[in-house]
Structure formats: structure tokens, C-alpha cells
Amino acid sequence: MGVLETGIIYGLIGLAVATALVLRSAESPAPARVALFAMGAVFWPLYAPSLLAPERAREPARSGSPDAAALGERMQAAQAKLLEALAQVEGVAQAVAPEVARVRLVTGQVAEMERRVKEIDALLETEEFDLAATRAALSRISARGIPESDARWQSLSVRVRNIERLHGIRERTLEDLEKISLKLEEMSSRLKLLRFAGRPDAEVVQLFKEVADSVEDVTEGLMAAAG
């Protein structure tokens, strides 16, 4: 296949991609669509990936944070490991019984927080809380020359901030949940280590109290922020 044949195939694909791009950007002004058609036809390899992907992501990037369900499972596993580790440390079960009860209570509160995160996720799935769409609407009215002092611009701007705030609350809640989960895992590993290191029982009790305190602090802060 020579240069001409390759060029024809390249051009045909380019025309298809350019047409799809223009059809997809129906809301753009005519000059922008003409420019998009020309660019899409010539440099279609740049535009094809965008075309093949969903039109817009429903959810913004979440910085790789785990979701609430995954964290819940992890939390239960961490709690089970912790109680197992505690059972293996002989002679301290009675001394740390109040802290064990606190840890169990924390787990209940955490379940409540997971439910909240799921509610936030459901809200963010709705069109009213679609950040990309709201930003696009704001860009459109800005492109129409509507000033920032205009009530329409301000309404959309406030809506964008509210959605961003909700995303922020979700992220912070998940971070705190993850902190508690990691703290439980840390406590479990330290208890196991102390058992092998032959440290005195008093140290085990102190360690357990410290970690139970810190877990409770995080949870209280979490509940206060959400409430």
C-alpha cells in the first residue's frame, strides 16, 4: 500500500472522527465546530480516544481513595484480627475489657459513617450534583458574555462550590475511616509483636488503652464534623 492509499484511508477515518466530534459538540458555536472538524479530520488520532470514552465522567477523580463498602469490610477484618490478637496475649484480657468494649462501640459508629458516605455517593450520582455538567453550564454562560456580577452566574458558581464541598466532605470522611481502619490494624500487629518480644503485660495494657483512645478521638471528631 502506497502513500496515496494510506492517505485516503487516513482521510476517511479522519472524516468519520471529525463528523462524530462535531455531532457530539452540538452546543458549541459554529466557528468552534468548524475548527474542531478541521482539527479532528487532520489529527484524528488525538481525538479518537476522547470519542471512544464516555462523554463525561459522572464521578470526578477520587484520588484513589477506597469506597465506603471496601472500607467497611476492611474495618470488620481489622476488628476481628485485633480481638484475635488480644485473645492470644495471656493474662491481660480482664484488664483491657473496657477498651475492647470501646473498640466494639467505635465499629458501630463507623457503620453509621459508611451509611452517610453511601448517601453522599447517591446524591453525587444525580444530575443536580453533577460537577462537570454544572461547570460546563458556567463556562457556557461565561462564553455568552454574562458578567460575574449577574445573578445567573452567581447561582451556578454557588452550586459548583456546594458540589465541591460535598466532594470534600466525602473525601475527608473516607480518609478518617481509613485512619481508624489502619489504626486497628496497627494495634493488632503491635499486640502480636509484643507477645513475641516478651514485654510485660502492663505495656500491653497501656498500648491497648492508647490506641483505643486515639481511635475513639478520630471517631468523635468524625461524628462531630458530620453532625
Partner 1 sequence: MVIPTDGLAAALAAAERPPPVVEPVEEMPAVRPPMFDLVLRRPRLLDRVLRDEGSLSKAVQDLASLSVIGLAVFGLVVGASAQLVRDRLVPGSFFASGLPAVWMPLSFVLAFIGAICICLPSFYFFTQLSGLDASFRMVTAQALRGVATTAVLLLGASPFYAAWVLGSVVGVFQDIDATLMVGMLIPFVVGLFGVGSVYRAFRSMVDVLPVTHPRRGNFVQRMVLAWGALFTAIAPVALYRAGEWFGRWL
Tell me the closest approach of the beta carbon of residue 127 to partner 1, in angstroms: 14
Of the ranges 73-81, 153-161, 179-187, 188-196, which one interacts with partner 1 (CB under 8 A)? 153-161
d(CA 109, CA 66): 19
Tell me the closest approach of the beta carbon of residue 79 to partner 1, in angstroms: 24
Size of the site for partner 1 (CB under 8 A): 31
Tell me the closest approach of the beta carbon of residue 9 to partner 1, in angstroms: 14
Our CB check for partner 1 shows the closer of 20 and 83 to be: 20
Closest CA to 206 of 70, 116, 95, 91: 95
Q: By CB under 8 A, is residue 160 in contact with partner 1?
A: yes
Give the HSE-up count for residue 172: Cα atoms under 13 Å, Cβ half-sphere.
14
**Which residue from 152, 161, 165, 172 is in contact with partner 1, where contact means CB under 8 A?**
161
Tell me the closest approach of the beta carbon of residue 223 to partner 1, in angstroms: 26
Which distant-in-sequence residues (6+ apart) come within 8 Å of 178 by Cβ?
A: 65, 66, 71
**Which residue from 76, 109, 157, 162 is in contact with partner 1, where contact means CB under 8 A?**
157
Q: By CB under 8 A, is residue 132 in contact with partner 1?
A: yes
- Degrees (nearest 5) of the Cα angle 224, 226, 227? 65
d(CA 162, CA 175): 20
DSSP 47-88: HHHHHHS-SS-SS---TTPPPHHHHHHHHHHHHHHHHHHHHH
Of the ranges 60-68, 89-97, 117-125, 195-203, which one interacts with partner 1 (CB under 8 A)? 60-68
- Residue type present at position 171: E
Q: Which of residues 20-49 bind partner 1 (CB under 8 A)?
A: 35-36, 39, 42-47, 49
CB 55 within 8 A of CB 24: yes
Interface residues toward partner 1, by CB under 8 A: 35-36, 39, 42-47, 49-50, 53, 55-58, 60-61, 63-64, 131-132, 135, 138-139, 142, 156-157, 160-161, 164
